[in-house]
Amino acid sequence: MKKVRVLPPATVANVVCGFDILGFALNEPCDEFEVEITEEPGVRIVNLDEYNLPTDPEKNVSGAAMLAMLEETPDIKGCIIYSKKIIKPGSGIGSSAASAAGVVVGLNHLLGNRFSNADLVRFAMFGEKVASGVKHADNIAPCIYGGVTLIRSIFPLDIVSIDAPPLYATVVHPQIEVRTADARQILRQKVLLKDAIKQWGNIAGLVAGFLKKDYDLIGRSLEDVIIEPVRSILIPGFDEVKKRSKDAGALGGGISGSGPSIFMLSKDELTAKAVAKEMEEVFIKIGIDYHTHVTSINSQGVKIIHSA
């Protein structure tokens, strides 16, 4: 087999009290990529959408990830990436991670799954470096592993899958721009020890809640006393979205990645839909365009679809 179609999913990183360490994959939206092994050396990128992303592989997120992988696959000369972005760049739900993760999972499939998931994360991080200047795995890990993933340590990389009970996610993407660089810069370099203690109590509670399948504990632990109070200022309507979502039955939630998307977790689909309605009303009132997604946690990671 020389060609494969892959659907890498959107992901939520910086899950509330799990800033920089916890993420999860969504069932929707997904990008659509095809990876084809060729005799032509190097990586060729064919864009099938309107985003005009760079076709120089070193400047393209998928391309950079693929080049890193090709360095360790001397038996492969090159490949073509057919790229159709569905996850809007800049939305805060792991668009660049999907680009990077999708193509390396695709090539690995064509190679008979020669590499481990940890290797694929390592390759895909080269794509994140092109996107944001920083090698991080917050979105890549859940995109590749599926489900909820803990990045206990980034160097050396230590990814831990956290089994979670069924959860529905509602995501709203207000059509404003929050630059990752701005969202980083606004954070203080030092935090109060007493706040840090609250935060690690909550992340411990959240991980325990997932693994014990205790929805109430998940809800009580979805609290961020360090990052959210600072970053939420960049997202108009944030506080009202959060309040109304919880009043509508959401377990809790917060900023997705570095924003501007906001996510909420619910126990069932009906609640997740009611939450979407609340979110929409807030942004209609403020007068900001938005997209909402009602979906569930994707336990599989990148979906592989064989091409003809």
230 binds its own copies (CB under 8 A): no
Which one of 11-19, 49-57, 234-242, 264-272 is the stretch in contact with its own copies (CB under 8 A)?
Answer: 11-19
- Mark whether 128 is an active-site residue: yes
Report CA 183 to chain centroid distance, whole Å.
16
221 binds its own copies (CB under 8 A): yes
Measured from the CB atom, the residue of 61 and 226 that comes closer to its own copies is 226
191 binds its own copies (CB under 8 A): yes
Contacts 24+ apart (CB under 8 A), 229-232: 230/186, 230/187, 230/188, 231/183, 231/186, 231/187, 231/255, 231/258, 231/259
20 binds its own copies (CB under 8 A): yes
Residue type, 66: M
Which one of 100-108, 115-123, 154-162, 292-300 is the stretch in contact with its own copies (CB under 8 A)?
Answer: 154-162
- Structural tokens at position 225: 């006393």
Which one of 53-61, 100-108, 208-216, 265-273 is the stretch in contact with its own copies (CB under 8 A)?
Answer: 208-216
Residue 146, Ramachandran bin (φ over 0: left; ψ between -120 and 50: alpha; else beta): left
Q: Which of 178, 144, 173, 176 is nearest to 161 (CA)?
A: 144
197 binds its own copies (CB under 8 A): yes
- Structural tokens at position 170: 């509602």
Distance CA 169, CA 269 (A): 8
| Of 36, 128, 228, 278, catalytic | 128
Count of residues engaged in binding its own copies, rule: CB under 8 A = 40
- Rounded to 5 degrees, what angle do the CA atoms 294, 12, 277 make? 25
The minimum distance between CB 24 and its own copies, in angstroms, equals: 13
Which one of 111-119, 127-135, 149-157, 169-177 is the stretch in contact with its own copies (CB under 8 A)?
Answer: 149-157
Q: Are the C-beta atoms of residues 167 and 265 closer than 8 Å to each other?
A: yes
The minimum distance between CB 43 and its own copies, in angstroms, equals: 33
Place of tokens 């606004």: 186
Q: Kindly list the catalytic residues.
A: 128, 180
Query: Could you list the residues that contact its own copies (CB under 8 A)?
Result: 17-22, 150-153, 158, 160, 162, 187-194, 196-208, 211-212, 217, 220-221, 226
